[in-house]
Structure 1
Amino acid sequence: MSIQTIQSKDQLRSFLHDTIQTTPITDIHSHLFTEDFGGLLLWGIDELLTYHYLVAETFRFQPELSYEAFWAMSKTEQADLVWQTLFIEHSPYSEACRGVLTVLSRLGLDVSTRDLNAYRAFFASMSTTEYLKLVFKLSGVNTVCMTNDPFVDEEREVWETIGEIDPRFHTALRLDPLLNAWDTTWPRLKTWGYSVEEAFSEKTIQGVQSFLRDWIRRMNPLYMAVSLPPSFQFPEESPRGRVIETCILPIAREFDIPFAMMIGVNKRVNPALGDAGDSVGPSDVRAVERLCAQFPDNKFLCTMLARENQHGLAVAARKFRNLHVFGCWWFLNNPSLIEEMTRMRFELLGVSVTPQHSDCRVLDQLIYKWDHSRAIIEKVLFDKYSDLMDTGWSLQQAEIQRDVADLFGGSFWRFLNRPNPAAKA
């Protein structure tokens, strides 16, 4: 088989575009669910419009509307208000608004009509099974990783009866209450039959470890995960610090799965906004470095929420091969910031990074999150490959395909030491 070399930048642009568009994606962090979880799987135009990004934006244009009045509305009424406020009375160029239009357009709907009822009729004509298949096809996503929280009653009940998981979905064991709310969590563990007490005795450590083992065996997660505040430190003389050191990290080593940290969210700075009321703050990258240094046999996934932390986190990943940086999380999921972060990460880490994840809470968002991110990743890669060509380096088509496959999931699966389900036989 002959080696096919890129001969010009025009050819590079065309080949790279085709490769970016056709390479299947592993979305390593989302809040999506399989059909087995019923109402926890959100989809459709009203769910898109009432996503908390758009709710927060709507309130900025509705100074007379009380939070209580909005939450008392039906979902349809809320969606109507969001549509009228953000799409009709103002130009919808925020990234969250643009995302809705991208979804509608890619579904073949005419966004120029601005006909919300027609869009609703389209979604009403689809079954969940049909729509899942369509979204995966349009987004180019091969598999997604859910966020699975055993402390959510509705979800835990499903896990008690669920059979095989839809192969398009993988699991992640989410542990926020265990780490961030020990005072209210340990009594629940005790109620569930685990021998724990508020004090961190050997008995408590064994009880928490048993809880983790049970849920890992039940879920088979790709990793354990937690969202952490900007104040997070390690070492930390707190229940959180003790749970991490004596329970999570030993069990992560036992099952050879990473501990994923999403650091930098200030919860409920405006409680009246509900899920839209969280904010952001700079965090201490040294806490991540200490974890990586003190526990070299553990693997760590990390994304940070503040723009100020991105350079330091990428430098930390250069120093610790047990650290894998991923995604442009939450408030960073804006094109200007995604491009800035992607360029910086490629320049520091090459392809040993996962540049994006969707963080979707609504199924439809898979389409726009990956459409928009693909375009940015393509733009950055074109510039980087052009720089190589300017040195006289020859670019081979197979190597470009390899690189893109790494960025779209290959590096993640290699870090996990698991086979990539999207890899060709």
Structure 2
Amino acid sequence: MTIHSKEHLHSFVTETVRNTQVTDIHTHLFAESFGDLLLWGVDDLLTYHYLIAETFRFKPELSYDAFWAMSKQEQADLIWKTLFIEHSPYSEACRGVVTVLNRLGFDLSTRDLNTYREYYKNVSAKDYISRILELAKVKTVVMTNDPFDSFEREKWSQNHPQDPRFLAALRIDPLLNAWDTSWTLLVEQGYEVKPDFSGNTISEIRRFLNDWIARINPLYMAVSLPNDFAYPEDSSRGRIIDECIVPVAREANIPFAMMIGVKRQVNPSLKGAGDSLGKSDIGTVERIVSKYQDVKFLVTMLSRENQHELAVTARKNRNLLIFGCWWFLNNPSLIEEITRMRFELLGGSIIPQHSDCRIIDQLLYKWDHSREIIAKVLFEKYDDLLAAGWRLEEEEIQRDVDDLLGGTFWKFLGKPDPAAIAAK
């Protein structure tokens, strides 16, 4: 059907973005078979590291040690009281919790945390996962799978039937960022590597990667990199990228995903909440993607200041797909700014958002909030076309939204969307 008015356009774009199923290309979620790695429920939601950091800002008298000595429920009680009762919860992380509770049907007028907890005592993880995915309209989540984590390795070795809604990504941070210690973890897994790269080290690192690719069938290999990451660089990381990661990515035909801009542990007392960000050198991305034009790269950068240069770099390199508004960029004002700029430079050849969720409940707010922004910006762009006399068709807009919320990713991988196949 042809779009016949601005009102028709607004309604159709809003509803289409709101109801189209998503492939969430980067999360820290786990399927039920991974046991304790799966985080869910109101106490996990409240003790998310964003909220921990915010709580300390309002509690100068609270020692770090005293907080970490609390049980998870005690921490959640303190965070609820501090951020939701003693102050209005309008930061994005706090608003996210409110959105989740609202979408689950809780009575927010009571502000009774214990009442909300009662629900979770009577629901299974299996049923809860299905409910959240259905409410969030997320058909597929891509996990972050770490072969250097002994607990996770054990779960993979048990060969549990895999939930087809949860797909793998191979996370290789220790290999690239901590070779001085991580080489011993390869030795423990039976690989003949040496810290100085002597002997068969390079071929054994490749064998390690290929073995894990065969085991978990990842959609891509991923690493979180510091803001001062450089390429090329005379380092173990530079050598492993050139001699191991790139050749394996090429052979396996999977992308290398680089998430660039982290400053680790600027305040170690905050533990998992203690990381920050820094501006990075876009030349690093330019050099690696142009050097290896036959290899696919997924890239997101953490600093707002890097976003324009990254989009321009993607214009010049078709083997680069940029994705998401990551971590400290996951705020509505920044998502809107970045999404608009990317649409204007790259059209639909981007992945506008991923959730980066660590607690499955967060899918509700991350996608509710992001869909609203994506729809707003997309409507504005279509409205410009409508005003210029371009004919707009509903089926073409649906096609575009399908691409933005997953199709572009699957096309970049050169693979069919398994959820779409299963739905037929």
Q: TM-score range, shorter-chain basis?
A: over 0.9
Shift of 1:126: 1.0
On the 8 A contact 1:42/1:362 being kept in 2, the answer is: yes
Which amino acid counterpart does residue 272 of structure 2 have in structure 1? D
Tell me which residue corresponds to 2:280: 283
Superposed, 1:103-118 pairs within 5 Å as 103-118=100-115
Q: Distance in 2 between matches of 1:397 and 1:76?
A: 48
**Residue 28 (structure 2) pairs with residue 43 (structure 1):** no
Amino acid of the structure 1 residue aligned with 2:241 = I
**Residue of structure 2 in register with 1:79 after alignment:** 76
Q: Quote the Cα distance in structure 1 between the aligned partners of 2:368 and 2:238.
A: 39
- Alignment deviations for residues 327-382 of structure 1 (CA, whole Å, 9 cap, x no partner): 00000000000000000000001000000000000000000000000000000011
| Corresponding residue for residue 142 of structure 1 | 139
Check conservation: 1:24, 1:422, Cα contact below 8 A. no
SS in 1 for 2:55: helix
**Residue 199 of structure 1: aligned partner:** 196
Query: Which whole-Å CA distance do the structure 1 matches of 2:109 and 2:207 have between them?
Result: 56
1:168 aligns with 2:179: no
Note the residue ranges of structure 1 that are not aligned, 5 or more in a row.
none
Contact 1:5 1:397 in 2 (8 A): yes
Alignment of 1:23-422 (within 5 A): 23-201=20-198, 203-422=200-419
Aligned-partner Cα distance in 2 for 1:421–1:12: 30
Distance 1:81 1:330 in 2: 24
Is the Cα–Cα contact under 8 Å of residues 36 and 162 in structure 1 kept in the other structure? no
1:312, 1:219 → 2: CA distance? 34
AA in 2 matched with 1:12: L
| Matched-pair contact (CA < 8 Å) for 1:175–1:226 | yes
Which 5+ residue runs of structure 2 have no aligned equivalent?
Answer: none
Contact 1:25 1:422 in 2 (8 A): no
2-structure distance, mates of 1:113, 1:421: 42
TM-score between the two structures when normalised by the length of structure 2: 0.98
* CA deviations over 1:87-136 (Å, ceiling 9, x no partner): 00001000000000000000011111101011001122211011001000
Q: What count of residue pairs does the alignment treat as equivalent?
A: 422
C-alpha displacement of 1:191: 2.2
Counterpart AA for 2:97: V
Q: Give 1:241 deviation, angstroms.
A: 0.5
Identity among equivalent pairs (%)? 65
**What is the distance in 1 between the residues matched to 2:314 and 2:356?**
22
Shift of 1:69: 0.4
Residue 322 of structure 1, CA deviation:
0.2
Residue 2 (structure 2) aligns with = 5
Displaced runs of 4 or more, over 6 A: none
In 2, Cα distance between equivalents of 1:368 and 1:421: 25
Q: By how many angstroms is 1:32 displaced?
A: 0.3
- Give the residue type in structure 2 aligned to 1:338: I
Using structure 1 for the length normalisation, give the TM-score.
Answer: 0.98
Structure 1 CA distance for aligned equivalents of residues 233 and 247 of structure 2: 17
Query: What per-residue deviation string (whole Å, max 9, x for no partner) do you get for residues 74-96 of structure 1?
Result: 00000000000000000100000
Bigger mean CA offset, 274-283 vs 187-196: 187-196
2:165–2:419 CA contact under 8 A, matched in 1: no
Counterpart CA distance in 2 for 1:201 and 1:347 is 49
State how far apart, in whole Å, the 2-side matches of 1:164 and 1:97 are. Answer: 36
What amino acid is aligned across from residue 329 of structure 1 in structure 2?
Answer: W
Distance 1:40 1:163 in 2: 15
Q: CA RMSD in A?
A: 0.8
8 Å CA contact 2:194–2:201 kept in 1: the answer is: yes
Instruction: Please state whether the residue corresponding to 2:257 is helix, strand or coil.
Output: strand
